[in-house]
Amino acid sequence: MITITYREALKSAIRESLQKDERVFLMGEDVGHYGGAFAVSKGLLKEFGPERIMDVPLSESGFTGAGIGAALAGMRPIVEIMTVNFSLLAMDQIFNNAATLLHMSGGQLNVPVVIRMGCGIGRQLAAQHSHSWEPFYAHVPGIHVLSVGTHEDARGMLLSALQSPDPVIIFEYTSMLNLEGEIPEDAGAVDIRKAKVRREGKDLSLITYGTGVYKAMEAAEILARDGMDIEVVDLRVLRPLDEETFLASVAKTHRALIVEDAWKSVSISSEVSSRIMEKAFFELDLPVERLCGVEVSIPYPKHLEDASVPQVQDIVDRVRKILKP
């Protein structure tokens, strides 16, 4: 095992992709000379040159469209949109072109583009730079949506995404960049079709993704000291949802708490909750519960920012309440 930061894991995945396939190139705002807004691509320009590490103008719609065009022309572009907050400007390209072209061309045109974007809160960047908008993307057929909640996936998801013939959106979490974690030395591509049970338990299923995964693991650890046996399911793939995994977990534990940073209304948790109700109703011993982002514009002050999304203690408290009414 090696200890590595989330940022390093992301970077080594980009580097390996560039080494393995000459059709792969990285494009995005400040990814070259500046080394990336979050220093994920630092040093790559020097190693691979300006043709493969491409700085682009501040026009999300323009450069995302260029990436989609390159993918249509046979390249394997990695488009970095600095954060999900700016991706709204590129939504027309992503939803109206990348997601639909296979269908509109009668199956003739695949769009093998990978779009990475920073996501979430935790760095005191205030409302306009702190959104958790995974649910927008998970709503749209025609794209795959991945959420990088662990170091293992930071290292592996990009490699697998580049193998997909269809557009893949990858959400990376800026608050986790400096977080250290252990991965096997030979860590590499991972399955990007399945959710994953990160911890087995029998009393309750904590279903989450992204920044929720390590929080849920920590909460489960604390609850275990009090004899509560919590299962943690990392959704990983937000579209298409791997319902088989979380339904099996609920069938085992009969209780579910879904945790996410995104706002509660019309979210990933609403969808997961619905599917549990539709397909595992008779396995439920308690109503499905949710812990989600508070429905406010994300505040700037640290203590308010912390209060606006579920924290480890919130998860612990809620599980205690559920299991010991």
Partner 1 sequence: MISFKMPSLGADMEDGTLVEWRKQPGDLLQRGDILADVDTQKGLIEIEFFGEGVLEKQLVEEGQKVPVGTVLALIRPVGAEAEQVVPPAAAPEPKKEAIPMEPILQEEKPASPPVATEKTKRIKISPLARKMAEMHQMDISQIKGTGPEGAIVKADIEKRLAEIVPEKEVVEKPREVLQQAPVQQAAIPESEAIRKAVAAAMSRSNQDIPHYYLEKRMDMSKALAWLKEANKERSVQQRLLPVALFIKAVAKALDDVPDLNAVWENGLQRKNEINIGFVVSLRTGGIMVPAILNADTLSMDAVMACLNDIIPRARAFKLRSSELSQSTFTITSIGEGGGDKVFGVIYPPQVGIVGFGEIRDEAVVHEGMIGIKPVVDVTLAADHRATDGLIGGKFLAALNKYLQNPASL
Q: How far is the CB of 280 from partner 1 (least distance, A)?
A: 9
Considering beta carbons, is residue 104 or 277 the nearer one to partner 1? Answer: 277
Total interface residues for partner 1 by CB under 8 A: 9
Q: How far is the CB of 136 from partner 1 (least distance, A)?
A: 32
The SS3 call for residue 28 is: strand
Site map 265..304 versus partner 1, x via CB under 8 A: ----------------xxxxxxx-----------------
Spatial distance between the Cα atoms of 78 and 80, rounded to a whole number of angstroms: 6
Residue 51 appears among annotated catalytic residues: no
Considering beta carbons, is residue 158 or 280 the nearer one to partner 1? Answer: 280
Considering beta carbons, is residue 285 or 306 the nearer one to partner 1? Answer: 285
Q: From the candidates 129, 218, 254, 283, give the one annotated as an active-site residue.
A: 129
Q: How far is the CB of 284 from partner 1 (least distance, A)?
A: 5
In terms of Cα–Cα distance, which of 117, 26, 7, 15 is closest to 67? 26
Q: How far is the CB of 243 from partner 1 (least distance, A)?
A: 17
Spatial distance between the Cα atoms of 246 and 23, rounded to a whole number of angstroms: 36
The answer to the question of residue 325 lying near partner 1 (CB under 8 A) is yes
DSSP state of 128: G
Residues 6+ apart with CB under 8 A from 111: 68, 71, 72, 97, 98, 101, 102, 166, 167
Considering beta carbons, is residue 83 or 249 the nearer one to partner 1? Answer: 249
DSSP alpha helix (H) spans, the chain: 6-20, 44-48, 60-72, 84-87, 91, 101-104, 134-138, 151-161, 212-225, 243-253, 268-280, 302-307, 312-323
Q: From the candidates 8, 16, 29, 60, give the one annotated as an active-site residue.
A: 60
- Strands 230-234 and 196-199 turn out to be antiparallel
Is residue 110 within 8 Å of 168, Cβ to Cβ?
no
The answer to the question of residue 254 lying near partner 1 (CB under 8 A) is yes
Q: Which spans of this chain sit near partner 1 (rule: CB under 8 A)? A: 254, 281-287, 325
Catalogue the active-site residues: 60, 129
